[in-house]
Amino acid sequence: MSKTILITGATDGIGLETAKLLRSEGHSLLLHGRNDGKLAAARDSIAAIGGPGRIRTYRADLSSIGAVQRFAREIKENEPALDVLINNAGVLAMEDPVTSDGLDARFAVNTIAPYILARELTELLGASGRIVNVSSAAQAPVSLEALKGGQRLSDNDAYAQSKLAITMVSRHLADELGNAGPAVIAVNPGSLLGSKMVKQAYGMQGKDLSIGADILGRAATSPEFNDASGRYFDNDSGQFRNPHSDASDPVKNAALVQTIEEILQDKT
């Protein structure tokens, strides 16, 4: 059945590849990007695939809390239905990682923006919906001080902490929503896939992006993920695995979510 699927970071890499795959399967797509030119190019290349589904575009800089909140409002105002949210947009290496809100952009884009979108769009998604949060094999214990912007981290540390953080958020939301809300699934799409993120950070070509697109597409629509809420799919091993042990600790997960809520109170 054709679904309406919002993909963040659909202008490049795994997100763009996933959008193409889902388009070829006949789904309607809401493509998100931060750059008008890249967004138009992505829309055109995806539309050229053909198919019955609608394509709409949304622009928002996910490093800005205010912009993410406006983006969520636009979706709620414009879209009568949403079946799947794929929180794919992400950043790793950056020259200046401090955002306009004074946060590390890795936490802002990889953790806080997905959290805001998940919360704001939960009602629209409804109990039959899915939220796919793109995680990573890189996961490190989260410094709540760094999350609040009070501690500077290396690129790799900030990235790994932000990815464990979104995995912890996923588990927390899944536990909280239960059967009353959308399924919340964390997915490592596969390591060292050949996107610009990997080329820039590691100077290598990387593996085929279709490895990541295939698993995000399955997590978004396949019945094999019907009972996956709260779980972590590791595409390096091709199976559900336990993420970093911190994500199995409800007290740590709740403390992390509470800290994000405090940041949102403070910055808005």
Ligand X SMILES: NC(=O)c1ccc[n+]([C@@H]2O[C@H](COP(=O)([O-])OP(=O)(O)OC[C@H]3O[C@@H](n4cnc5c(N)ncnc54)[C@H](OP(=O)(O)O)[C@@H]3O)[C@@H](O)[C@H]2O)c1
The site for ligand X (CB under 6 A) is made up of 9, 11-15, 33-35, 38, 61-63, 88-91, 109, 134, 136, 188-189, 191-193, 195-198
H/E stretch holding 47 reads helix 36-47
User: Tokens standing for 209?
Assistant: 């992006």
Distance, CA of 85 to CA of 260 (rounded, Å): 20
Q: Which is nearer to ligand X, 1 or 153 (CB)?
A: 153
Q: Which is nearer to ligand X, 78 or 202 (CB)?
A: 202
Nearest-approach distance from CB 58 to ligand X, in angstroms:
10
Q: Which is nearer to ligand X, 46 or 89 (CB)?
A: 89
Distance, CA of 217 to CA of 7 (rounded, Å): 11
Nearest-approach distance from CB 164 to ligand X, in angstroms:
12
Amino acid present at 16: L
Q: Which is nearer to ligand X, 33 or 181 (CB)?
A: 33
User: Tokens standing for 88?
Assistant: 């794919």
The neighbour count for residue 34, using CB atoms within 10 Å, is 18
- Contacts of residues 239-243 at CB distance under 8 Å and 24 or more positions apart, as own/partner, are 243/135, 243/139, 243/164, 243/167, 243/186
C-alpha torsion angle, residues 43, 45, 51, 53 (rounded to 10): -10
Nearest-approach distance from CB 88 to ligand X, in angstroms:
5
Distance, CA of 46 to CA of 51 (rounded, Å): 10
User: Tokens standing for 264?
Assistant: 């949102």
Nearest-approach distance from CB 236 to ligand X, in angstroms:
9
Q: Which is nearer to ligand X, 63 or 221 (CB)?
A: 63
Nearest-approach distance from CB 180 to ligand X, in angstroms:
27
Nearest-approach distance from CB 217 to ligand X, in angstroms:
14
**Strands (E) located in the chain:** 4-7, 28-33, 55-59, 84-87, 130-134, 183-188, 232-234, 239-241
Q: Which is nearer to ligand X, 97 or 181 (CB)?
A: 97
DSSP 8-state code for residue 104: B
Q: Which is nearer to ligand X, 128 or 268 (CB)?
A: 268
Nearest-approach distance from CB 127 to ligand X, in angstroms:
26
Q: In what order do the strands lie in the sheet with 55-59?
A: 55-59, 28-33, 4-7, 84-87, 130-134, 183-188, 232-234, 239-241
